[in-house]
Structure 1
Amino acid sequence: MSTVKIVTDSTADIPKRVREQLGIEMVSLKVMFGEESYLDAVSISNNQFYEKLIASSTLPTTSQPSPVEFLETYQRILQKHPGSPIISLHLSSAVSGTYQSALLGSTLLEEPSDSDITVIDTKSASYGAGMLVVRAAEMAAAGKSKEAILTEIERLKKDKKLFFLVDTLEYLQKGGRIGKAAALFGSILNVKPILTLDDDGEVTAVDKVRGTKKAMQRIMELFKQEFGADPVEMTVAWTHKSEIALELAALAQTHLQIRNIRQTEIGAVIGTHVGPGTAALFINRV
């Protein structure tokens, strides 16, 4: 049996060492500051990006990979590993056309009958997608079948939850990822919206709390409602500065039965839309 190969895009925010260790192929999105274009997680580091973002008077723009870029990735894998099934997992189609590009790229192979490519819309972003990719890659490395991996991906999609806090809603509003009314409300009287991605993969506010400390406590209540005393894994993520995220993670350790903890930094493309000072927790049932 040929080993299943795993493909994702750069918005999954999987640390490079993990990608290399598990053999995960990555196709990068792009971030543009005016005429300057960078490959996310390749030609610009997170530190360089956030320094430029904070200094910039205008919001950078982002763009998805082309179908041809995905086609070339699939071709490279199949040339090196003929007959291997490919599972390609991507950023929510509600916020990006990346999934559609990957899907189209998979149809452009000259001999589609000789290929076995499954393209998945994770309905999530950052490590909400990354946790699915990593689990799939771990199972592939253990020799699990494509069918077993797809079954586990579907289970994990239902057994995970993410909440995040942003320093300001300005970036989400400017990028068209959240309505102007919500952005306005978030700027008044230190109200902190607690954000998530809904079942369709769209950014939505689940509650609005005055002050960061109270928002953190409310996030713990929401996680407890979801997971209770079940054992879980947790990934903490942040943009630019980690203090709030690590404080949130420490609080989670006093409320949840956490068996494994990961850390990651949110990269340039997602960072463009949430801004510096974002703190996120991604939790899944073991």
Structure 2
Amino acid sequence: MAVKILSDSACDLPDEILEEYNIDILPILVSKDDEEYLDKVTIDPKKMYDDMRNGVVYKTSQIPPYMFEEKFEEIAKSGESTIYICFSSGLSGTYNTSLIVRDSIKERYSNLDLDIVDSRSASVGFGLLVYKAAKMAKEGKSKEEILKMLDFYVAHIEHIFTVDNLEYLFRGGRVSRAQAFVGGLLNIKPILDIPEDGTLRPAEKVRGRNKVLNRMLEIMEERGGNADLKNQTIGINHGDDLEGALKLKEMIEEKYGCTDFVINIIGCAIGAHSGPGTLSVFFLNEKPSQEF
């Protein structure tokens, strides 16, 4: 029996990939005022971004225990060998909650065959791990082979992104009110990344949109110089800015000769904190072995 891949909506993979590789997704909760939604189920990212441009504030919360209980019990009853790849523990409590619920389910279903992997990643950086695992599962690779690959990807995936408006990072506590105000006046575009511990950190500040995109490409070369960028699957996603994402793709094609891309809009789980106009690029900083 093929290994089943389970993930959550923060992986931001396109629907066609989820369907082709039969990837199950648990939705992260999104709310505004007293209304609660399921990311990409009962709220569409485009709707959220339009609202945010009009001043609406969205918040997010982790997947509740009951959702894990229902899904893990379903897995136990089906007897499927499953890997749940989840949103970074450095950015959400989802990973720890899933471990607690799995242990609880195992007390009732000793046959539960479920490994849980902390992606220490977000958005399509996280999605590339899920995508690769699902491809290997479809090819009939064993759980041990997939888990070995995931160990490598977790350790070597790079996240480079910029936001269009510092106000959203201020609301999330990532920058001060003064930084957000001055950044807006001076057209400062921060470059942020996710280090190995899976948290979020500011990396650099660049003035102007074109300069920040060029700097993102330079960072790709600095961090991915030994990783054979040309033959990688490169992830790109955007906060309702497809034009910007396609421009970034074209720049990467011209500079590095890359041909394989996963491009998608950032879902509500991430976009509620990064805001409209966010652009991200994801790649490996080391070349994986041929066995992957």
| Deviation readout 1:148-171 (Å, 9 max, x if unpaired) | 001111112233212111011211
Q: Which residue of 2 aligns with 1:135?
A: 132
With the length of structure 1 as denominator, give the TM-score of the two structures: 0.92
CA distance in 1, matches of 2:185, 2:88: 30
Instruction: Indicate if the aligned counterparts of 1:232 and 1:256 stay in contact, CA closer than 8 A.
Output: no
Q: Which residue of 2 aligns with 1:18?
A: 17
Match for residue 99 of structure 2 among 87, 103, 127: 103
CA distance in 1, matches of 2:109, 2:194: 33
Letter in 1 for 2:22: G
Q: Which residue of 2 aligns with 1:115?
A: 112
With the length of structure 2 as denominator, give the TM-score of the two structures: 0.90
| Deviation readout 1:28-73 (Å, 9 max, x if unpaired) | 111111121110010112222222222244x211111112211211
Indicate the SS of the match to 1:223. helix
1:94 deviation in Å?
1.4
1:185 deviation in Å?
5.6
1:184 deviation in Å?
5.1
Q: Which residue of 1 aligns with 2:248?
A: 248
1:203 deviation in Å?
1.5
Match for residue 90 of structure 2 among 69, 83, 94: 94
| Deviation readout 1:171-223 (Å, 9 max, x if unpaired) | 122122x1326545633522221111111111112211121111111111111
Runs of 5+ consecutive residues of structure 1 not aligned to the other structure: none
Q: Which residue of 2 aligns with 1:279?
A: 279
- Let me know the Cα RMSD of the aligned residues: 1.8
Q: Which residue of 2 aligns with 1:64?
A: 62
1:128 deviation in Å?
1.0
Letter in 1 for 2:38: L
Q: Which residue of 1 aligns with 2:33?
A: 34
2:210 pairs with 1:213: yes
CA distance in 2, matches of 1:23, 1:114: 23
Instruction: Indicate if the aligned counterparts of 2:217 and 2:252 stay in contact, CA closer than 8 A.
Output: yes
Indicate the SS of the match to 2:232. strand
Q: Which residue of 1 aligns with 2:175?
A: 179
* Higher mean C-alpha displacement, 202-211 vs 128-137: 202-211
Letter in 2 for 1:23: N
Indicate the SS of the match to 1:113. coil
Letter in 1 for 2:14: P
Instruction: Indicate if the aligned counterparts of 2:125 and 2:235 stay in contact, CA closer than 8 A.
Output: no
CA distance in 1, matches of 2:184, 2:195: 23
Q: Which residue of 2 aligns with 1:165?
A: 162
Indicate the SS of the match to 2:161. strand
Letter in 1 for 2:157: K
Letter in 2 for 1:85: S
Match for residue 226 of structure 1 among 209, 223, 228: 223
